[in-house]
Amino acid sequence: GFISAISQDGRGFMWFGTKDGLNRYDGYNFKVFRHDPFDSTSISGNWPTAFYEDPFGYLWVGTLTGLNRFDPKTETFVRIPSAPESQNGLSHPAVSAIVAVKMAPGDSTLTLFVESSFRRIPAAFDTAYPIFSFIPGTARRPFRISFEP
């Protein structure tokens, strides 16, 4: 099989993105998380392409069909909407990279950049999520998620 992404989380689980879903390995067994069109808390697509574990223990999972936040306590996903016609979501669902950086030396805010494989990735969400904003002055405007301690 083809593995598109590999990561290890803070609890020691290994995560593998394959065309068959998000695979979690605990050292003994695999558990596979797959898209279920009848379950809004399932992952948005079966081909994960990028991972990032945030400071709160959530696993951000990019797929070819969207961005998801996995809650390890409930083992459910929150799907970040794709809305190419608006400024309220990803401009294209295919996520190619998730990178976390501190924007300035000594800054306590961690910013998560999500890159789409196509076009720009825009702006603001409501307060149900951490702070979301776009980066002005770039052609693609990466989707930016900031976490305050």
Task: Give the best-scoring range by mean pLDDT among 33-42, 47-56, 119-128.
Answer: 33-42
Residues above pLDDT 70, as percent of the chain:
60
Range name among 51-60, 93-102, 131-140 with the lowest pLDDT average? 131-140
Range name among 34-38, 77-81, 125-129 with the lowest pLDDT average? 125-129
Does 35 score more than 90 pLDDT? yes
**Main-chain phi, psi angles of 93, to 5 degrees:** -70, -25
Per-residue pLDDT reduced to its tens digit, 118-133: 433 333 333 233 333 3
Residue 138 has a pLDDT of 36
The Cα diameter of the chain in Å comes to 47
CA–CA separation, 104 vs 73, rounded Å?
32
Residue 97 has a pLDDT of 74
The four Cα atoms 125, 103, 52, 7 give a dihedral, to 10 degrees, of 170
Per-residue pLDDT reduced to its tens digit, 89-126: 566 677 777 777 666 677 666 666 666 654 333 333 33
Instruction: Show Cβ contacts of residue 82 under 8 Å, excluding neighbours closer than 6 positions.
Output: 66, 67, 89, 90, 91, 92, 93
Instruction: Show Cβ contacts of residue 37 under 8 Å, excluding neighbours closer than 6 positions.
Output: none
Residue 5 has a pLDDT of 92
Q: What is the pTM of this model?
A: 0.74
Average pLDDT over residues 13-34: 97
